[in-house]
């Protein structure tokens, strides 16, 4: 980029500041994970040292796995997240295609209508959503959560995907039409494969708030069989406040999947944010 170099002294200060903040960002997470592998005495006596041969202990994890149904919670979170993302991507891409490809009466209006949800949080409709779910008999089912999260994810997905759909070449689509492809085939066979990178970005954006949400699981699906991992750890930790081993292990168990996914997808995610977010 710019050609001016900054002086070594200034770059030293910049590194100091950035490294300092990085430490602040990572320290709490590392502290939790390290201490989850220690016995109770070591947690209190030397909280900052890594587990040693002597202080290493898995007692916290044993308690968590025995007392809480964390495998079940993970399964619920996974089902809800994956199915919601699937519908958000499928329905979102279809709607984005209709909005960006065809001119029809009410196109702009429909686009604006679908964009309301980008700014207005779905949470404000909770009173009536719960009422509706009770009426439909969907309380304490994963279906209720999937419906809510699909509706929540659609506005932003449609917005981002239609930006990308406009970049797909018209010649290609018209060539398909001349070859006798139906509009559906053009969408599924030509356009969808081309916007796969954008779909990945949308998937990551959609995933984080769904996986981390506490509000809707708490209100729509608080039953033991439908608890998500966020609600599950919230309730579990609330019950075991005084058992530090169990609390630290439960927290670590909730952190690991996010950490692993982040290590794998961080480039994709950051590229997605830095490329498409500010337009």
User: 215 to 234, contacts with another protein by CB under 8 A?
Assistant: 215, 219, 230, 233-234
Across-strand partners of 38? 56
* Selection from 155, 148, 156 nearest residue 220 by Cα: 148
Number of residues this chain uses to bind another protein (CB under 8 A)? 99
How far apart (Å, rounded) are the C-alpha atoms in residues 240 and 58? 16
* Selection from 167, 185, 156 nearest residue 89 by Cα: 156
Q: Does 71 bind another protein (CB under 8 A)?
A: no
Q: Does 82 bind another protein (CB under 8 A)?
A: no
User: Considering only 55-63, 66-74, 146-154, 195-203, which stretch makes contact with another protein by CB under 8 A?
Assistant: 146-154
Pick one of 76, 187, 226, 245: the residue that binds another protein (CB under 8 A): 187
Burial of 198 (0-12, 13-18, 19+ CB in 10 A): buried
Residues from 10 through 49 that contact another protein (CB under 8 A): 11, 14-15, 17-19, 21-22, 24-26, 28-29, 31-32, 43-44, 47-48
Q: Does 200 bind another protein (CB under 8 A)?
A: no
Residues from 86 through 115 that contact another protein (CB under 8 A): 87, 90-92, 94-95, 97-99, 102, 104, 110, 113-114
Handedness of CA 107, 274, 229, 241 (dihedral sign): negative
Residues from 232 through 271 that contact another protein (CB under 8 A): 233-234, 237, 244, 247-248, 251, 254-255, 258-259, 262, 266, 270
**Least distance from another protein to the Cβ atom of residue 24, Å:** 7
| Burial letters 70-102, b for 16+ CB under 10 A, else e | bebbbebbeebbebbbebbbebbbbbbbbbbbe
């Amino acid at each position: 980029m710019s050609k001016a170099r900054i002086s070594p002294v200034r770059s030293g200060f910049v590194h100091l500041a950035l490294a300092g903040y990085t430490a602040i960002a990572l320290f709490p997470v590392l502290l939790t994970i390290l201490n989850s592998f220690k016995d109770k005495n070591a947690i209190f006596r030397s909280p900052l040292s890594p587990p040693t041969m002597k202080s290493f202990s898995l007692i916290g994890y044993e308690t968590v796995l025995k007392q809480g149904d964390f495998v079940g919670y993970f399964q619920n979170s996974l089902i809800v997240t994956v199915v919601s993302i699937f519908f958000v991507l499928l329905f979102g891409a279809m709607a984005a295609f209709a909005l960006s490809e065809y001119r029809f009466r009410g196109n702009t209006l429909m686009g604006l209508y679908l964009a309301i949800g980008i700014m207005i949080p779905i949470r404000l409709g909770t009173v009536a959503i719960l009422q509706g779910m009770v009426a439909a008999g969907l309380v304490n089912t994963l279906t209720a959560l999937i419906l809510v999260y699909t509706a929540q994810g659609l506005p932003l997905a449609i917005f981002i995907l239609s930006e990308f759909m406009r970049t797909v070449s018209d010649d290609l689509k018209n060539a398909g039409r001349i070859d006798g492809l139906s509009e559906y085939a053009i969408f599924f066979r030509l356009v969808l494969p081309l916007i796969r990178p954008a779909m990945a970005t949308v998937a990551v954006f959609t995933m984080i708030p769904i996986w981390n949400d506490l509000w809707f699981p708490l209100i729509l699906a608080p039953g033991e069989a439908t608890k998500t991992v966020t609600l599950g750890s919230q309730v579990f930790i609330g019950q075991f406040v005084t058992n530090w081993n169990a609390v630290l292990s439960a927290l670590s168990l909730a952190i690991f999947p996010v950490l692993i996914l982040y290590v794998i997808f961080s480039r994709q995610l950051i590229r997605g944010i830095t490329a498409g977010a500010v337009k």
